[in-house]
Amino acid sequence: MKAYNPNEIKNIAIVGAAGAGKTTLAEAMMYEGGVIPRRGSVSAKNTASDYRPVEQEYGSSVFPAVLYSEWKEQKLNFIDTPGADDFVGGVISALEVADSAVLVVNSVNGVEVGTEMMYRHAKKFHKPLIFIMNQLDHEKVRFDESLEALKASFGPKVVQIQYPVNPGAGFNRVVDVLKMEMYQWKPEGGKPDVLPIPEEEMDKAMELHNALVEAAAENDDNLMEKFFDQGTLSEDEMRAGIRKGLMLRDMFPVFCVSAEKDMCVRRFMEFLVNVAPSAAATPGMMTKDGEYVPYNVNGPTSAFVFSTTVEQHIGEINYFKVVSGVLKENDDMTNMTTGSKERISQLFAVAGKNRTKVSELRAGDIGATVKLKGTNNGDTLNGKDCEYVYPEIKYPNVRFRTAVKAVNKADEEKMALVLNRMHEEDPSLLVEYSKELKQLILSGQGEFHLNTMKWRIEHNDKINIEFIAPKIPYRETITKAAHADYRHKKQSGGAGQFGEVHLVIEPYEEGMPEPVSYKINGVDTKVSVKGKEVYDLPWGGKLVFYNCIVGGVIDARFMPAILKGIMEKMEEGPLTGSYARDIRVCVYDGKMHPVDSNEISFKLAGRHAFSEAFKKATPKILEPIYDVEVLTPDEDMGDVMSDLQTRRAIIMGMEADFGFQKLSAKVPLKEMQRYSTSLSSITGGRATFSMNFSGYEKVPAEVQEELLAAYHEEDED
């Protein structure tokens, strides 16, 4: 394979809703470019991109697949992405390095929530976007309705390049209004016969041609002037206008294909070669410092790692984009994240499961390497005297969580290693052992996402695991002041233990005045602050600790021990064992023994005094609240809202959004368990949601009673 320069490279993310036909389109593009000898199919489980066991089991993409095709002296790198919302991490990784996006639309279903989501992702990354109307050979195709839905959802920027003459079971003809030709295919697809546009189609073709000419001219003042003078543009001028419109996201061209029958795929590839922006035509990649690094073969060598997979018999495969310079075999690079040195022992051009060894890859190109020691997604690899560092990829917040454990306790360490490896492959999957909950928590984009990971662990790694309901990270606090005292006394032969602590606790609020007096046993008691310590707690909130001891009744050297005892109890709250927060403690009196007092005595006295005072201070349990945003079709809005209200949600607002409804609510985390599954069931998989931590709020009284009863029962067990 030749080494391609930036102006000969097109990097494209293929995105779309599940079932749109992305993998089938990618297969046809590789076949037309001669990269694979025959086209595989998803149903036959023999495509180049969906080659992993879990993808063949599910019949759909789980990972982004890096692919390429060579066409008319150019290299088309394209990344086939998963359509299921649960695997959105692969879409984000692909868009990070793509220079444009192709959004595949199922012409039977039209604009789906998945279509809308992919459009939003492409918009967020400001990627030029081309629509592909696929499955035009399906007997239930609704091309005109689907096209109208595109225009209604995404506006007048949606402009047709083609339309099908005979959509449906016998589909084999397309009119191209850019080239003003009709293409007709034999049953095997591939190369079409190029024919004049039939007379009965000419009026429609001319109307769409004129609309395309006008849309192309709108993006260039010189072309607009020419259009006004001549009333039309040449094919090359139209291409120039479309290219500019694409780059500005002022035009979304629409193509028609049957990917399964390989009809119009060649013409689409020709369009990509002639019109889609090359790596050289883009600004480059932005560093953490906000500087754009152009795709320049003469620059210092620099690459960005955007994806990692682990494969049997090979190990880790790192996929990267060469941002600057020329990356060659045996180059020594520095990982700018870890500072470690990496040797590029082998380089590959990748077509899914097929890898072609190459000696070098130039700026703008995408490839892979193996056997790097410690390089992961989002890392920058630089050659000598290069200081570029690119931002890490930002993945969506997790939406589903579960606790996980190995069925066989002996497999727990191995399971943890496998889960951490999976996180490296898919950073949208998070693995964390919670000291607070005493559970290994697995978090991802949905129940399907985590069940897929479970399938892989059990079938590929032969470890049986089980999911159990995750505990909720509640917090405990108090609502009024209370006092308590506790004497710890222990005598066993020689030196004993003695410590007595009197303290007051009260709710802490930012900006509250310093303590002057407290009502203790009905008497106003003045306090004198001798020392103050403020702690920002690792789990949120604060502890403010006052030493108000006078007359030396407790030696100053025992105060840290009292504080330690209080802190230990805050780590295991008196009500449910959850972390306590936002409390002010004033130690104002106590007793000690000249011989028997020691640190352990005062630690225990402080711990017990705090616990007793806490229970008197009208304690409340706080629960985590999340801001939830749901994007749902109009017709499902009522059912979605009703379901949220059963989850103790507070609806914050609603607004229309391109044929969908966007609903905002505040919902307790406890009620979000399995919400992704419920939402999918209510809407037939047509809705999606996001959730972000908002803060802690007091639980309702009945919920607090349930939690206290459950904790008491567990404690007794």
Each residue's pLDDT tens digit, 310-348: 887 788 999 999 999 999 999 999 999 999 999 999 999
pLDDT digits (tens, 9 = 90+) for 643-691: 999 999 999 999 987 668 899 999 999 999 989 889 989 988 888 899 9
Establish if 711 belongs to a structural domain. Answer: no
Q: Are residues 485 and 608 in the same domain?
A: yes
Given a contact cutoff of 8 angstroms between Cβ atoms, the answer to whether 486 and 615 are in contact is no
Q: Is the pLDDT of residue 28 over 80?
A: yes
Q: Using pLDDT thresholds of 50, 70 and 90, give the confidence band for residue 716.
A: low
Provide the residue range defining the domain that includes 303: 285-382
Q: Is residue 103 part of a domain?
A: yes
Question: Could you give the angle at which helices 113-124 and 143-154 cross, rounded to 10 degrees?
Answer: 40
Q: What percent of the chain has pLDDT over 70?
A: 99
CA 199 to chain CA centroid, Å, is 51
Sign of the alpha-carbon torsion through 648, 652, 653, 658: negative
State the SS3 of 8-73. Answer: HEEEEEEEECCCCCHHHHHHHHHHHCCCCCCCCCCCCCCCCCCCCHHHHHHCCCCCCEEEEEEECC
597 and 642 housed in the same domain: no
Domain containing residue 583: CATH number: 3.30.230.10
Q: Which of 434, 453, 471 is the last residue of a domain?
A: 471
* Residue 307 vs residues 79, 267, 444, 514: alpha-carbon distances, Å: 11, 30, 17, 54
pLDDT at 235: 85
639-645-647-650 Cα dihedral, nearest 10 degrees: 130
pLDDT greater at residue 379 or residue 114:
379
Q: What is the pLDDT of residue 595?
A: 87
Residue 493: band (very low, low, confident or very high) from pLDDT cuts 50, 70, 90: low
**What SS3 string covers 285-326?**
EECCCCCEECCECCCCCEEEEEEEEEECCCEEEEEEEEEECE
Tell which residue, 26, 124, 119, has the closest CA to residue 79. Answer: 26
Contact yes or no for 478/619 (Cβ under 8 A)? yes
- CATH number, residue 672: 3.30.70.240
pLDDT at 512 over 70: yes
- Domain presence at residue 67: yes
Contact 462, 489 (CB under 8 A): no
Burial pattern 348-383, b for ≥16 Cβ within 10 A else e, equals: bbbbbebbeebebbbbbbbbbbbebeebbbbbbbbb
Q: Flag whether pLDDT at 714 surpasses 90.
A: no
Q: Is the pLDDT score of 30 beyond 70?
A: yes
Please spell the DSSP secondary structure of 68-112, one letter per residue.
Answer: EEEETTEEEEEEE---SGGGHHHHHHHHHH-SEEEEEEETTT-S-
Does position 717 have pLDDT exceeding 60, yes or no?
no
Question: What DSSP line would sit under 370-386, residue for residue?
Answer: E--SS--TT-EEE-TT-
Same domain, 220 and 349: no
pLDDT, tens digit, 9 for 90 and up, residues 190-243: 999 999 999 999 999 999 999 999 898 888 778 888 777 777 788 888 898 999
Q: What's the token pair of residue 34?
A: 């001669």
Length of the chain: 717
The candidate with the shortest Cα–Cα distance to 588, out of 569, 571, 613, 568, is 613
Residues 202 and 241 both lie in one domain: yes
Long-range pairs for 486-492: beta carbons < 8 A, 24 or more residues apart: 486/605, 486/606, 486/608, 486/609, 486/612, 487/591, 487/605, 488/601, 488/602, 488/604, 488/605, 488/608, 490/601, 491/596
> What pLDDT, on the 0 to 100 scale, is given for residue 715?
65
Residues 513 and 526 in one domain: yes
| H helices present in 636-674, as ranges | 637-645
| Whether 293 and 432 share a structural domain | no
Question: If you write DSSP's letter for every residue of 356-371 in order, what string do you get?
Answer: EEESEEETT-EEEEE-
* 495 in the same domain as 582: yes
**Proportion of the chain above pLDDT 90, given as a percent:** 85
Residue 425, token pair as written in the block: 């492959």
Single-letter code of the amino acid located at 335: N
Same domain, 174 and 38: yes
pLDDT of residue 127: 97
User: Is the pLDDT reported for residue 383 higher than 80?
Assistant: yes
Segment 453-482 shows an average pLDDT of 95
Q: Which residue has the tokens 């029962």?
A: 713
**Alpha helix (H) ranges present in 597-674?**
599-616, 637-645
In whole angstroms, give the CA distance from residue 315 to residue 345. Answer: 14
Residues 413, 363 share a domain: no
- Beta pairing partners, 400: 444
Q: In which residue are the tokens 């040195």 written?
A: 341
Mean pLDDT calculated for residue range 76-86: 95
Query: Do 34 and 162 lie in a common domain?
Result: yes
pLDDT digits (tens, 9 = 90+) for 514-540: 999 999 988 999 999 999 999 999 999
Query: Would you say 86 and 444 are in contact if contact means Cβ atoms under 8 Å apart?
Result: yes
3-class SS of residue 191: coil
Report the amino acid identity of residue 292. Answer: Y
Pair 79, 73: CB distance under 8 Å: no
Would residue 1 count as lying in a domain?
A: no
Which CATH number goes with the domain that contains 261? 3.40.50.300
For the segment 93-112, the average pLDDT, to the nearest whole number, is: 96
Kindly state the average pLDDT of the residues 703-717: 82
Strand partners, 163: 175
pLDDT at site 633: 86
Q: Is 306 exposed, middle or buried (0-12, 13-18, 19+ CB in 10 A)?
A: buried
**Contact present, 369 and 357 (Cβ < 8 Å):** no
Asked if residue 717 belongs to a domain, the reply is no
CA dist 76 and 539 (Å) reads 49
Cα–Cα distance between 583 and 697 in angstroms, integer? Answer: 16
**DSSP 8-class letter at 258:** B
Determine the pLDDT at residue 475: 96
The pLDDT tens digits for 548-568 are 999 899 999 999 999 999 999
β-strands 583-591, 542-547 pairing: parallel
Q: Which of 264, 281, 298 is the last residue before a domain boundary?
A: 281
In whole angstroms, give the CA distance from residue 378 to residue 389.
10
Contacts of 588 (CB under 8 A, 6+ apart): 502, 503, 504, 518, 525, 527, 548, 549
Task: Among 451, 471, 491, identify where a domain stops.
Answer: 471
Is 47 inside any structural domain?
A: yes
| Structural domains counted in the chain | 5
- 709 within some domain: no
Residue 456 and residue 527 in one domain: no
For residue 166, the number of C-alpha atoms closer than 13 Å in the C-beta half-sphere is: 12
Q: Taking every pair of C-alpha atoms in the chain, what is the biggest distance, in angstroms?
A: 113
Q: Is residue 502 part of a domain?
A: yes
Contact of 179 with 194, CB cutoff 8 Å: no
Q: What is the CATH number of the domain that holds 353?
A: 2.40.30.10
In angstroms, the CA 680 to CA 446 distance is: 10
Residue whose C-alpha is closest to residue 379's, from 339, 408, 414, 343: 339
The reply to whether 495 and 528 lie within a common domain is yes
> Which residues, other chains included, contact 314 with Cβ-Cβ below 8 Å and sequence gap of 6+?
370
Q: How far is residue 86's CA from residue 67's CA, in Å, rounded to a whole number?
A: 22
Do residues 347 and 358 make contact, with C-beta atoms less than 8 angstroms apart? yes
Q: What average pLDDT score do residues 696-706 get?
A: 93
| Edge-to-edge strands, sheet with 400-406 | 430-434, 439-444, 400-406, 465-468
Question: Strand pairing of 302-311 and 360-362?
Answer: unpaired
Number of C-beta neighbours around residue 584 at 10 A: 22
Q: Which two tokens stand for residue 311?
A: 């494969």
pTM: 0.88
